[in-house]
Amino acid sequence: MWCFWRALFASLIVGFYLLLSKRNFLRGIRSGDFLLFILFGSVGIGFNYLGFIASLNYLKVATALLILYTFPSMVVILGSFFLGERISRVKVISLVLSMLGLSILLGWDISFSPVGYAWAFLSAVGNATYALVGRKLSGRVDSMKALFWGFSFGALFLLIILLLTKGVVRVPELRELKYLLGLSFLSTFLPYMFFLFSFKYLEAGKASIGALSEIPLTTFLAFLFFGESLGFNHIFGGSLVVLSIILLMKGGG
């Protein structure tokens, strides 16, 4: 349920910004772009949320995350077909290093569930779609407009799923609203916005590999602010992920 509200509130945040900046929601957008927006929102955002949340009913968080973060591999491969991005040696080495580092960081305590794997894979497909379509739109469509339509169609998709599975949409209570708004801004709007903005400067494959830095960064911040333990696997695994990103940026692959 919260996924729908997060996508909806994120859409309202972007819409409010567009209104304040007096931008026309439709100017510069072709009719054919709406097919991309539907794909961007329903698959790119909707599948990502739906798949990951559903996978947690069957898998441990670490296992779900490992499958989710295979999405850069999809982007690197599919980007060569749909976006003409080159699969270089540096990009492949960086991808292998980052996935190895992520595996070490998250640990090897893997849970088994074919249904859980399917849901987590759906989430990875969502992230990959967001990257590929976002890169396709970047440079031609105003990023904030693309984000608005993406969140809007994502919220609509999640609303339909919610109605089909639950039959009703519960309105958040007042005490829940402040947390939901915080999540919508910090964990939905900002990450998706920065990821989309990165496509103006980076290939979809490079940006996706760079997105793997989220896990070691989150681990370090949890240690810094919440006193969570920081073991050798976190330090070594996180270092490999950071090294892979440095290699990718320096190597120019």
- pLDDT tens-digit series, residues 227-239: 777 788 888 888 9
Q: How many CB atoms lie within 10 A of CB 154?
A: 34
pLDDT at res. 253: 57
Mean of all residue pLDDT scores within the chain? 89
HSE (CB half, 13 Å, CA atoms) of 152? 16
* 134 and 202 Cβ atoms separated by less than 8 Å: no
* 4 and 155 Cβ atoms separated by less than 8 Å: yes
Number of domains forming the structure of the chain: 1
pLDDT interval class at 251 (50, 70, 90):
low
156-159: Cβ within 8 A, 24+ apart: 156/41, 156/42, 157/41, 157/42, 157/45, 157/46, 158/3, 158/4, 158/7, 158/46, 158/49, 158/50, 159/4, 159/8
Domain range for 39: 2-251
HSE (CB half, 13 Å, CA atoms) of 57? 7
- pLDDT tens-digit series, residues 60-97: 888 888 889 989 999 999 999 999 999 989 899 999 99
- pLDDT tens-digit series, residues 131-154: 999 999 997 899 999 999 999 999
What lies within 8 Å, CB to CB, of 167 at 6+ separation is none
- Amino acid identity at 136: K
